[in-house]
Structure 1
Amino acid sequence: MRNNRAMTVRPHRIAVLATDQVVGLDLGTPAQVFGTARDADDVPLYLVDTCTAGALPVRSTAGYQVLPDHGLELLEAADTVVVPGIHGGPPLRDGTLDPAVADALRGAYARGARIMSICTGAFVLAAAGLLDDRRATTHWAYADRFRRLHPAVDLDPDVLFIADDRVLTSAGVAAGIDLCLHVIRTDHGSEVANRAARRCVVPPWRDGGQAQYIERPVPKTADAGTAGAREWARHRLHEPVSLRDLAGQARMSVRTFTRRFRSETGMSPAQWLLQQRTDHARLLLETTDLTVDQVARRSGFGTAAALRQQLHQRIGVTPSTYRRTFHHP
């Protein structure tokens, strides 16, 4: 019975399209995750192959070349096409793409294939015109560049992945695993996806989005303007700090200070102060064993409920979840 089923059920065909400067981890993720998805009879549910334009070798970012078994014709029969991330080449540099690759991607989508990208692979999909007027995501560090090159795309850099009809994009690096598990879960249910996650030794679901991983270092500023007031406020995040207090530190009127502050930081004093308190709370959660109540007080939120609301609003997770992810005793 098992052999008969294996012979009659056609695995879902996945084509991984590698372009020059492909990211090694992203390239291997689809084969690893989808390759572990099996039904109750241990029959593989997906068949994963790799292709390039002309079946030619392409360089990876890991110091080796990729020698594929297939050319772009693989996309003509694929049920799903996955584009891994890249760390170089025209799609990242100027938003252009090899016309043959663009045509193959558009043809696969028009034929009804599901199209996915991992990390900066979204630049390839956008260059092919497949993300225009869609919600999409990519690695947070490339968000500004992506917006400049592809203003027609509704980019959300805070999430781990986005599924917009048959076009799916994921955030940086390991978020490709989250997206592949999401696809398995959508295709075959949570039980199959959970088994695949266990085989890969990864969580079947991660709380929150990539906003919790974004680095927000304190920018270096000149001594003039509002920089001194900002430095003064950073040392008093646990205290009430008013707009009048900040303006007084800068020896400016409230109106002038507010205008100068927004010009220098791109946000209002209240928004900036809230961001600083959130970042300080994250630092305390990562590096101390203080209770959530203590973290809330020391970062200026006052109560654990206020901290919990703000953290969930900004990065999509609770303080306890954030601490479990990032705290190292």
Structure 2
Amino acid sequence: MNGWMNFTGLRRLVKREVRRMKAKVRGIYSTALTKLLLENGFEIVQPSLTIKKRFKLNENQEPPDLKIKDRFDLQGIRVLGTPEATSAFQHMLHSSLEDVLTRRWMVSVDGIYRGSIKESDERFLYVDLGCGVTGRLSKSEVTDGSPRQVIVQVERKRLGVKQPVLTTKLKVFGNHAILAKNSKTGVSLKIYDLEKRAELYALGKALSPEGWGIIWRESSKNQPRETLENEVARLFEKIKTLDSKTLSADAPTLLVEGLHFIDVEFPYLSKRRLDSFRASVAQTLNGHHFYKSCGGKVSAALEMAEKLLEKGQDRAEVENLFKKQVMYEFP
């Protein structure tokens, strides 16, 4: 096993109704994917200015169930979200794009596991998490001799790699707060107002469960006290569940589920289909997503060409100028 769950790009004919979940989308595929998400019952949150304008969306800063951004090579996207939201999104892609490739990471991001130590070297312990996946834990994080089992969490580092990066510094994540084991109360550095920082710090000190510290996320600054108190109470219930399972569960097993990660690749036919989605809401040249994924000067030339189309320039003339620019870059 290599840590991935493989799916083919076969088109499914039955369209499943999707619960209204919230998605945040960024990157070169954002317009096409926003169109597809809205048609499939998702709600778009934290939209960019361009997306707000194109789809006439209202301001919505609610936390997302799903975060979508470009892959580093621009040939697809990276998706992180709740199990329900990622499953619905994955089904939507396979129902809409003929040759799309999706790979779901077998481990739970931020998930807390009781793992079995399989082997070690000078720097790392190699921990069996189940499902054929072995994670890597720095020896510096283990201070109690040579344990056979260990409670670890999958970090958000190097998502999708064969050996997940693990830590024993446990955290339980909420939308507005993080409970961190054996940690002090803290406030996001993105909250600049000193009065609000002091208010949140005092609240965190008052609400922190024994042995855990509260770290307030940026979104907490706009939330009423009751909302924050309720979230901390929910996170504390997760801690109690963790403590209970830790006493009874044998390794390897998942104790607290986190988020799911999917790597998505858009081959030729998928890019063409995404072009058609984008073209229904914005001026789009043929091959838009292919050229955008080239990056650099080609991507910049495409943006300029489509701005000319928005200003009413003749399409044939613009396409001809753009093709000349591409030929200049790739003779």
Which bin holds the TM-score, normalised by the shorter protein?
Answer: under 0.3
Give TM-score scaled by structure 2 length: 0.26
More strand by share: 2
